Every structure is written in structure tokens, then in C-alpha cells.
Structure 1
């Protein structure tokens, strides 16, 4: 006989059913249409999730409903994740939700995240492989829709900041199933042409589905493989696409991309004026220093001329003659005193031998006196001076020649860096009426008067036309 069935109360039965449901279905993903949506004052959300043949009750409590990125509405298709349980007071099973998102965008978001993680793991988004943008790009290519506001915004910013920058529109569709392939093909052609310093991928804002062309895997790989630096400016600041991660630089908006690319002309002009002032100051300082060196060399050369050296030697000779005359007079006086002493001794009656000795001494002293006579000393000094007179002159002449050669080298160096030397070689210096130098056609207006300094005078000119430098025109 079969065993007797256990007797249960409704509450016990519902508890067993709830435990069975929660144990068998820990978490489920369900997609369906919202119906019977209720928003009580508590902040919870209650609705049914239905399809053509069935419906299930759902509850999303306030702490989790606050994180929704959209406002749920009747008839909206959503994808929910939650736990299956039993609402015991009514005996109905329901889903207690953890997350809810719009069905179409949710699937796209999951596909985007999965592809992003896979490409990032391959190293496609590695910052180390990205190239720096040129400081002063000359020509950029913008891949965007020709009919949208994006290209107008970019051109407006570039005209304001740096009008000399060349911009070429490379028209492509930016939305639709075929957009990614067309963008990829045109990007490859632009990169292979070598015409552009930077390429910009740009598009206005939109939903994830609208921006999906820029999440194409092949397009992201093509962006990473470009030899030309690429800027990705897709959507608004909060929008992200795979091309943003693969590009060398992500701009939050297309206008921000233009700001990043173009230097500020006003700021650049101020910087150039500062550099010009520094260059002129250094040039003038160098000229002053060389002029001072030339003056010092001239003074040294003037002080070492033969006449000055001969005058110095002549003064030395006069002083030497005066000292010699004083010394000879002193010695002559001493010798006269000695002779007077000897004469006094002879007159006093010394013996003959002593007299002969004294006579011999007298004769020796007389010979020394004659030998040291001032006339003889002066004659010997004159002969010595004559022998030495040629040596200072030769040394002075040699030193003078060396200084002349050095001074000539300094003069040639000064002449080589002089602007007038450049003018003498056939060039000219263009100046405005206020005396400022004309360095670029960008700073000259039609009809403006100017002057050109040439080697033998100035020419008065008037600008009748401006021709840009060859090879800098806009490419078609």
C-alpha cells in the first residue's frame, strides 16, 4: 500500500516551494516586455515581464533601481538578471532582480566589453606602442560625414586657432552596417598616401547602436596598424568606442580634437616675438663684445708700436747715463783723495822703495782712472746701446705683425656675421614703414607699403599680390 501523504499547511507548502525554486535557479537572465509597471512611493519597481505566451512577476527594490541608466516604460523590451523565488502571501513565484538594461543595448554592451577585453589582452591598446602627435602638423585628414555638424565644428575651431593648417575632408558614412568597412578602406588609402601628418576619426554623439560602426574589430586593428598618427573623436565625452582605445589619442569631442591638433596662433605669435627679441638681444650682445675686443686689441697694438717702445728705451738710456755719471763722479772724487794722500806721503820723505811702490800704485790708479773716465764709460754704453737698439725694433715689428693679423681675423669674423654682408651678396631686407622686419607673407596685406634694403641703398615698394610658397597649396 502506498505511504500516507504528509499533511502540510499552505505556509509550509509555500516555504518548501520557495526553497526548491531558489535552490534550483540561483540566477537567471530573462528577456521580455515590461507590463503592469508600478512605482509606489517606496521607490521599488513592480512589473510583469511577458512575451507572446507567458508572463512572470518581477520586483526591483529601491537600492538597485537607483542605478538604472534609463527610465523603464510600458512595452519596453528589457534584459533582466535575478533570482527566482516565491511570494508566499499570494503563492505566486516571481523574479527578484539584481540588474535591468534595455535588451538591444545590453547585448551590444556585452559584445563591446568582451571584444574590448580580448583586444586589450592582445596588447592592441598598449600605450607603449602609441605614437606622439606632431607639434606643428601641416595637413590633417578628417574622416567623417560631409553633411554633419562635426566637420563644421572642426573647421571653425581650426580657423580660429591656426588658419594656416590644411584640412582635407575624407567623406565616409559614420552609421550603418556598411560604415565600418568603408571607413577602414578610406583610412588605409589615406595612410598609404603619405599626404597627412595626422588622421582624425570623428562623429557626433548617439546611442551605442548608432556608434557601433566604430566598435568593429577590423576597424580597430586598422587604426592600430596605421603608420600615420590617428586621433579618435567619437561621440560625446562619456561615449567610448574601440577606436578610442586603439587610436594614438582619444579626444572627448570632435571640437576638442581640433583644439588638440592646432596650436593657438595668438600664443604662437607671442612666443615667436619673444624668441625674436631674444635673438636680437643675443646678436647685439655678440656685436658689442666683438667691438670691445677689437677696441682692446687696437689699444694694445697702439701701445706696442715701434715709436712708443723706442721712446721708452730712450728714457731708460737717459736714466742709465745719469746714474753712470753720478757713479763715475763719486769714484773720481775718491781716487783724487787717494792721490792727494800719496802725494802728501811722498812729500813727507818716505824711503825710495816706498816711493817706487807708491809711484807704481799711482800709475795703476791713474790707468784705472783713465779707463773709468766718464768719456770712456759713455762710449762703451753708447756701443752697447747701438748693439741692442736693433733687437727691440725687430721684436716690436714681429709683435705688430701678429697683432695686425689677429685684428684682421676679428674684422673678417665681424663682417661675416653682419647683416650688411648678407645684403652685399645680393640679398635684401624687407621692412615695413614702421621699421619692423617682414619675415612671412602671412603678415603682409595687399597695398601695404614697404622698403627693401640692398647693397647700395633702399627701394620703396608696394605689395600688389601675394604668392604662397610652392608646394603648400591645398590638395584636392
Structure 2
């Protein structure tokens, strides 16, 4: 432990010439560079800036501390990779001091990829989890209104993001109502305020679209928009949401969950606001078309009016035309009456002829002729039928005669009976029996004298 007292040496030093700020910063820079001219530092990169000069400016950090770093173009061009937000780096360089601002910094000569930082790992884990649950699916995203009626903006009321949004809306379409729903956008409390702002917007039932976001920053600065609490609140909000967090290269979980991701807050305002000039140009175009159509309609009406004027005639001419038309109609009427009478007379004559043809006398004659024709036809059919039956009877008689016993008898055979039973075998008789024999003509009664068996 060192104790300081007022000594003559101290008084001499106090009376010496004071250093300027530039001299002090120069001495500090040289002191740092002499003692830390080749150090290795491991840390997580954050807030990488790459201006047009080609130099890189970023911050290396761990859980407790951080240090500003610069890597000039002649050094970073030799690298085979470009570091990204949250990457864990192993850098080599010298400690220095930027005299213009008095900032303590590390001038990086070389860097290697040492893996992924804690925040970046947490980002990737949550992103994979929500993607698996389907919170990033395009099917659940709501369409944005073409002409918003009221835009709600959830952001810091003092940040650059709200100024950019209002500037763009004022330039493009100042008639759209805009309400700022204030919330902190950085720090531990920001996630709770963002969720509360979303619920407030939903309960108010005033907005048809919301913008949620902030300006660019490091991964830590943007971390409230990577919180699961905020992501689920955005996913469950029934109002379409445009996420506008950071710059074009910055992506957060809110960007993936929102219905639309805008690269910047200004881009979000551009997306939601109709272009006033484009609408005015369209209105002018419609006005010109309406004028042209109206003029064309007036011209057509004028031509129609001129045609009607030409068709108007003097009343005397119209009376003469009407009189002539009346005469013509009279002539046509007389001709029509004459023709109608002639047709009526012709119809009457035809009716008389039909009445004569269909009178009782005529019908009686027709019935007589028809009956005579039917009688003659019936007699012819009866004779024809009798002739056919006669032929059929003769044919049947011939066939019956051919198989008749009488026909057999006519050929010299006879039929012998005893007690009305036909005798076919001599064994049926005995001597002394009376038998009757039928010939072709006549019959004889005989007595059996002798029986002979067939040898």
C-alpha cells in the first residue's frame, strides 16, 4: 500500500508544465504497445462493422468484460473467412489506444475461428426448437393489409428506429394514423415490456398491422428480440406483425416468427405505406381517362342529337305521309276483307261437301257395301275352311283305314272271338267251344272239333 504526502519533490512536479490531452494519450498508447505488443485473446465477436474503407471494427467479449478491436484492411484481406455475430474467435495482436477518442483497443493482426459463442449457441438452440414447433411456417403467417388504416409501432420512443419510420411514413403517405407503443428494446427488462406492448396493442383493437423493432446493434443489444417469451407473444398475436430489428445483416428470432421481416425500420415503413406519389399519379391517370370518356360520351350525344334534328320534319309533311299511309292501310284492309271472304266461302263449300259425304244416306250406303263385302268374304272363308277340313278328313280316313281291322279282313284275314274275347292262341280253346269268326263280309258261328298245336 502506498501513502502520498506533500514533499518538495511533489511540489516541484506540481509546478512542472501540464500535459496536453494529445500528449497524455500518446504516452499511454506507447506504454501499452511496448508492454502488450503480441498478445492472444479469446472472446465472442459482437457488433462487427465493415465500412467502405475495408477496415473491420468489432468488440470481443466474455461473460464479464469486453474490449474494442480493430483489424485493418491489409490484415483482414488475408483471412479465408468473414467472422459473424456470436462467433468465438482466437485473435492475436497488440494493445493500443485510439488517441482521437482516448479509447483503449486491440489492434488485431490475425484471427482464427474458435467455435460459437454462448449467445450464438442459445440463438441456434431456440431457433431449432421453434422451427420444430412450426412457428416459422409460411402457412401460419398472416397477409399484410394493402392500405393500413392504423399502424402501431412497438419500439423505444427515443430511438433512431421510430424517427426513421415516421420520416418514411410522412414522406410516402402522411394520412395513415400511427401510434407509438413505447417499450425498451435493450436490457433485461426489455423482453417483458415488449410482451406487454404486444398485449396492449391486441386489447386496444385499434390496429390492423404492427411494427416491432429497433435500430442495429450488437448481439447483446438485439437479444430481447431473441427471447422465447417475445417470440411466442409475436406468434400468438392476431394482428399482422412486421419485424424490423437492426440492419440488413442482422437476423433475430422475431424476424423468423413475425408475419413479415423488414431489413430495417425504414424498410418496414416503406412496405406498409402506399406511395403517395404513385397514388396521385394513378388518380391523375384515372382523371384523364374519365375526362376522355366524358368527352367521348358528349360527342356521341351530340351526334345523336344532330341525327334527331335531321329526322324532325314539317308537320304538313308528316300529315301528308300519315294521310298516304291511311289510304294504303285502307286499300290493304279491303284486300284483306275480300281475301278473307273468299277463304270463308271456300271453307263453307268444303264443309258442305264433307256434310254431304258424311250424311245418313251416304253412311247407310257405305255400311251396306261394307256388310256385303264382309258377307262375301265370310262365305269365301267358310267354303275355303270346309274344303280344307274335307281334305284333312279324307287324309285322316285314309290313314285310319290303313290301320283298320276291316282293311285287314278285306285282304282275306278273319277275326275269331270266344265270349267276345279275341282268340290269338289255340290253347285258349277246348274242343266243343263255340266261336264266332268275322270275315270281311259277314260272320260265322263254329264249333271246335279238334285242336292242333303249332309244330
TM-score range (shorter-chain normalised) is 0.3 to 0.5
Kindly name which structure, 1 or 2, has the bigger radius of gyration based on alpha carbons. Answer: 2
